[in-house]
Amino acid sequence: MAKIKRIGVLTSGGDAPGMNAAIRAVVRATLYNGCEAYGIYEGYQGLINGDIKKLRSNHVSNIIQRGGTILKSARSKEFRTVEGRAKAAANMREHKIDALVVIGGDGSFTGARIFGQEHGIPVVGIPGTIDNDLYGTDSTIGYDTAVNTAVDAVDKIKDTASAHNRLFFIEVMGRDAGFIALRVAISTGAEAVLVPEIESDLTDLNDFLGKDYDPTNSSAIVIVAEGEKSGGAMQIAEKVSKSHPNYDIRVSILGHMQRGGSPSPFDRVLASQLGVAAVEALLDDQSNIMVGIMNKQITQVPFNKTIKNTKSLNPELLKLVKVLSFR
Ligand code: F6P
């Protein structure tokens, strides 16, 4: 491989708190190693459009604490085409950018892998998504912050739920995964959690509501992952209200607030570590890999593996919710 002198960085897919900290780390580590750093705006679409700017150290000052992404993010349809990727590669050549760091999730890495293979461009991925649904890393950048934000919101809802003896169904994000839901459920002492990974006919929930829950003098919280197979918090609440017309039920969908806000110290440190690890991996001739963290150690996982495999929910944590909601 030719010596890498210029490294480009982009953020892709849904933004996540801590992406800015990762951009900062990539840029500073690139400069520290005597190379030049280039920011690519609006993800792969910016690479196709040539929306590229040289970044100096001061361009990433004062961003470690900020949510969102200074490089903006997008989901590009054009990059899914051979022609789109060819334009992106041509722009990299024009700017003499030798290698690319992609901060994003599953879909972004699928694009990165094809792009790297088609054009012989070294690419390293950094896991940035609130969903935590990437195989090969214990945590993705943004997950911890999103959980903190959701827990804060649920704690507030619990106050009003308790004041009115209400049953709340609270929907959290996570796409097809229940990582946010499960952690939020345990942290808030929820009575039940519904996640996409477990096929549920609502029997457990109805058992709890029928036997252990007294709507006349207590409240209850059920956390629902947005990808849950029965159709989300609204539909579940409707079904339950039909079988329990005496319950005072409310639904709250937390939505995009979970994607915003200042990253937690955990996410800032993780993003800093992974940003530096990504640059070091490229300079060490690694390509087509994601850098991650497992058991507090930095890992390198081939894109192939992280894309094909599914990270499982910890069954012990699922059991915790059941045991601890016993009344
Ligand atoms: O992947 C992050 C995420 O926030 C998911 O949890 C959610 O399903 C999706 O993105 C929402 O996407 P959009 O912001 O495009 O509506």
Q: Where are the alpha helices (DSSP H) in the chain?
A: 19-32, 43-49, 82-94, 106-119, 143-164, 179-188, 203-207, 232-243, 265-283, 303-308, 315-324
Q: Same CATH fold, 144-259 and 6-142+263-308?
A: yes
Distance (Å) from CA 214 to ligand 1 centroid: 35
CA 249 – CA 239 distance, rounded (Å): 11
Calculate the dihedral angle through the C-alpha atoms of 10, 15, 20, 24, rounding to the nearest 10 degrees. -30
pLDDT tens-digit readout, 167-199: 999 999 999 999 999 999 999 999 999 999 998
Q: Is the pLDDT of residue 257 over 80?
A: yes
Element at 51 (helix H, strand E): none
For 211-234, letters b (16+ CB in 10 Å) and e give: eebebeeebbbbbbbbbbebebbe
Instruction: Report the catalytic residues.
Output: 131
Q: Is the pLDDT of residue 2 over 80?
A: no
Q: What are phi and psi of 65, to 5 degrees?
A: -95, 0
Percent of the chain with pLDDT over 90: 91
Show the tokens assigned to 262. 């200042």
Q: Is the pLDDT of residue 107 over 80?
A: yes
pLDDT tens-digit readout, 132-161: 999 999 999 999 999 999 999 999 999 999
User: What average pLDDT does range 203-226 have in this prediction?
Assistant: 89
Q: Is the pLDDT of residue 277 over 90?
A: yes
Helix axes 315-324, 179-188, angle to 10 degrees: 30
What number does the ligand 1 atom closest to the CA of 130 have?
A: 2
Residue nearest to atom 14 of ligand 1 (CA): 14
Among candidates 77, 21, 90, which has minimal Cα distance to 44?
Answer: 77
Ligand 1 lined by 166 (C-beta under 6 Å): no
**CATH number of the domain at 144-259, out of 1.10.287.3510, 2.40.110.10, 3.40.50.460, 3.40.50.2300?**
3.40.50.460
Residue nearest to atom 6 of ligand 1 (CA): 174
User: What average pLDDT does range 195-223 have in this prediction?
Assistant: 88
CA 64 – CA 268 distance, rounded (Å): 7
pLDDT tens-digit readout, 240-256: 999 999 999 999 999 99
Residue nearest to atom 15 of ligand 1 (CA): 14
**C-beta separation of 6 from 96 below 8 A:** yes
Q: Where are the alpha helices (DSSP H) in 141-284?
A: 143-164, 179-188, 203-207, 232-243, 265-283
Q: How confident is residue 207, by pLDDT bands cut at 50, 70 and 90? A: confident
What number does the ligand 1 atom closest to the CA of 174 have?
A: 6
Fold for domain 6-142+263-308? Rossmann fold (3.40.50)
Ligand 1 lined by 106 (C-beta under 6 Å): no
pLDDT tens-digit readout, 114-124: 999 999 999 99
Ligand 1 lined by 196 (C-beta under 6 Å): no
Domain ranges of the chain: 6-142+263-308, 144-259
CA 227 – CA 173 distance, rounded (Å): 8
Ligand 1 lined by 130 (C-beta under 6 Å): yes
Show the tokens assigned to 34. 């005597």
Kindly tell me the sign of the dihedral angle through the C-alpha atoms of 54, 93, 280, 309.
Answer: positive
Distance (Å) from CA 67 to ligand 1 centroid: 15
User: What average pLDDT does range 16-25 have in this prediction?
Assistant: 98
Ligand 1 lined by 173 (C-beta under 6 Å): yes
Ligand 1 lined by 127 (C-beta under 6 Å): no
Among candidates 28, 38, 32, 44, which has minimal Cα distance to 6?
Answer: 38
Q: Is the pLDDT of residue 201 over 80?
A: no
- pLDDT for the residue 203: 80
Distances (CA, A) of 15 to 48, 67, 223: 19, 9, 23
CA 327 – CA 318 distance, rounded (Å): 17
More confidently predicted of 74 and 103: 103
CA 138 – CA 158 distance, rounded (Å): 29
Mean pLDDT of the chain: 96
Among candidates 18, 283, 322, 292, which has minimal Cα distance to 141?
Answer: 18
- pLDDT for the residue 1: 58
User: Letter for the amino acid at 101?
Assistant: V
CA 8 – CA 53 distance, rounded (Å): 9
What number does the ligand 1 atom closest to the CA of 16 have?
A: 2
Calculate the dihedral angle through the C-alpha atoms of 63, 69, 71, 77, rounding to the nearest 10 degrees. 170
